[in-house]
């Protein structure tokens, strides 16, 4: 069982677990201003595409509940300003933009006549986004079960667990569900340079869950496929284009190529909120470039010669032809993805509509 929570709403503040300090410390930080949440996202206090969606939604709720706006129009204008700031926090994860838009659409409902109505609706929407994420992850885990052999060696890249989501995890959720259903899984954990999300965060989560694992360097995947034998790779996703091209943590593309060369199934895992049907292929995905010091320094100590040239793209795009299947809460998409992904997104929207009375139901917010 997880004893931590990546994000929580508590009495008018957003509480984030500072992921930069894990595994050495578990420190929670409270945020009362949406601008500070935007900074926390940029500085990687919270990271992982679904977690960024929830963080942005709760940041919008902060903007709403702490607003002094006298009328509905003024509050909507303030929310538009908050949305603009939050959209600049990080560019690649689709979930961040998806969640902000969902909150904005909710706030635009003409039936919300007063600032109090809007505040209540915005907070309810943020709670719904967070709650749906956990449910989606659990469903993803169940959907994936038939794809996981009873005994499996699995390579996992980056961190996609409870830390990268609101709870349970996506690709790590698939591993978790397999373990909970009695499958004997062993996880080969890519350390995931440069920020070591695998070595620090995924290993920390797997240890708590009691799932057998071994941390390896990113370049070792071919070695382990040849020597030990790997049954499948599972990775998360930050943005999936209409044709299935997938942006995920840098190194994912290399892993997909090695898996392809060895005939190892390569599964991309994520909620449908990561699928961006508005872009035809991966060329349209903006890849975030992060500071050089993430590469030139390890633990604050410089490891490169002074003034060395560095390129630090945080993500890469794996072409759809190297992806065996894309596992979502609404089902599993197989190629051709241009056909299967729109079907799954439509199915997820239908499922969400059926949940809406619950999502919208909430009491007034005290501020």
- Omega before residue 168 within 30° of 0, cis: no
For tokens 């994520």, what's the residue?
270
158 binds ligand MRU (CB under 6 A): yes
Q: Which of 133, 190, 218, 238 is catalytic?
A: 238
Burial class of residue 107 in the structure, from the number of CB atoms within 10 Å of its CB (0-12 exposed, 13-18 middle, 19+ buried): buried
Q: For residue 313, how many other CB atoms are within 10 A of its CB?
A: 12
163 binds ligand MRU (CB under 6 A): no
40: which residues sit within 8 A by CB, 6+ positions away?
16, 29, 31, 46, 55
Q: Which of 139, 143, 153, 170 binds ligand MRU (CB under 6 A)?
A: 170
Whether the CA torsion 69, 12, 53, 288 is positive or negative: it is: positive
Q: How far apart are the first and last CA of the chain?
A: 33
Which stretch, 105-113, 119-127, 157-165, 340-348, contacts ligand MRU (CB under 6 A)?
A: 157-165
Q: Which of 38, 47, 129, 152 binds ligand MRU (CB under 6 A)?
A: 47
40 binds ligand MRU (CB under 6 A): no
- 203-215 burial, b if ≥16 CB within 10 A, otherwise e? bbbbeebebebeb
| Three-class secondary structure of residue 267 per DSSP | strand
- Omega before residue 350 within 30° of 0, cis: no
Which stretch, 25-33, 112-120, 231-239, 300-308, contacts ligand MRU (CB under 6 A)?
A: 231-239
Compute the distance between CA of residue 150 and CA of residue 288 in angstroms, rounded to an integer: 38
318 binds ligand MRU (CB under 6 A): no
200 binds ligand MRU (CB under 6 A): no
Active site residue 105: no
Q: Which of 6, 139, 143, 165 binds ligand MRU (CB under 6 A)?
A: 165
238 binds ligand MRU (CB under 6 A): yes
Compute the distance between CA of residue 124 and CA of residue 61 in angstroms, rounded to an integer: 9
Q: Which of 106, 242, 249, 352 binds ligand MRU (CB under 6 A)?
A: 249
179 binds ligand MRU (CB under 6 A): no
Q: Which of 160, 221, 243, 324 binds ligand MRU (CB under 6 A)?
A: 160
Which stretch, 31-39, 159-167, 207-215, 346-354, contacts ligand MRU (CB under 6 A)?
A: 159-167
Which stretch, 30-38, 47-55, 126-134, 299-307, contacts ligand MRU (CB under 6 A)?
A: 47-55
Catalytic residue numbers read 238
Enumerate binding residues for ligand MRU (CB under 6 A).
Answer: 47-50, 93, 158, 160, 164-165, 170, 197, 236-238, 248-249, 314
């Amino acid at each position: 069982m997880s004893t931590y929570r990546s994000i929580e709403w508590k009495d008018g503040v957003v509480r984030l677990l500072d992921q930069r300090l894990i595994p050495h410390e578990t420190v929670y930080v409270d945020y009362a201003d949406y601008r500070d949440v935007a900074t926390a996202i940029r500085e990687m206090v919270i990271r992982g595409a679904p977690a960024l969606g929830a963080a942005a939604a709760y940041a919008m709720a902060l903007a709403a509940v702490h607003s002094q706006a006298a009328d509905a129009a003024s509050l909507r204008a303030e929310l538009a300003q908050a949305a603009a700031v939050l959209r600049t926090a990080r560019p690649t994860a689709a979930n961040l933009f998806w969640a902000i838009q969902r909150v904005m659409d909710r706030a635009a409902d003409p039936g919300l006549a007063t600032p109090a109505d809007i505040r209540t609706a915005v907070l309810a929407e943020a709670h719904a986004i967070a709650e749906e994420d956990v449910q989606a992850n659990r469903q993803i885990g169940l959907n994936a079960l038939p794809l996981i052999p009873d005994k499996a060696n699995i390579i996992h890249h980056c961190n996609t667990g409870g830390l990268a989501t609101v709870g349970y995890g996506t690709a790590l959720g698939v591993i978790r569900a397999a373990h909970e259903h009695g499958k004997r899984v062993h996880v080969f954990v890519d350390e995931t340079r440069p920020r070591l999300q695998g070595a620090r965060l995924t290993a920390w989560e797997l240890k708590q869950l009691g799932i057998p694992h071994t941390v390896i360097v990113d370049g070792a995947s071919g070695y382990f496929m040849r020597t030990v034998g790997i049954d499948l790779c599972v990775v998360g996703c930050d943005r999936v284009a209409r044709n299935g091209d997938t942006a995920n943590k840098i190194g994912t593309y290399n892993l997909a190529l090695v898996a392809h060369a060895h005939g190892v199934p390569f599964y991309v895992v994520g909620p449908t909120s990561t699928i961006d049907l508005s872009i035809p292929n991966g060329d349209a995905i903006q890849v975030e470039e992060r500071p050089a010091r993430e590469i030139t320094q390890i633990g604050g100590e410089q490891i490169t010669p002074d003034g060395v040239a560095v390129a630090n793209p945080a993500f890469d795009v794996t072409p759809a032809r190297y992806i065996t299947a894309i596992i979502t809460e609404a089902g599993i998409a197989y190629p051709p993805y241009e056909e299967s992904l729109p079907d799954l997104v439509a199915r997820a929207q239908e499922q969400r509509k059926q949940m809406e009375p619950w999502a919208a139901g909430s009491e007034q917010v005290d501020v």
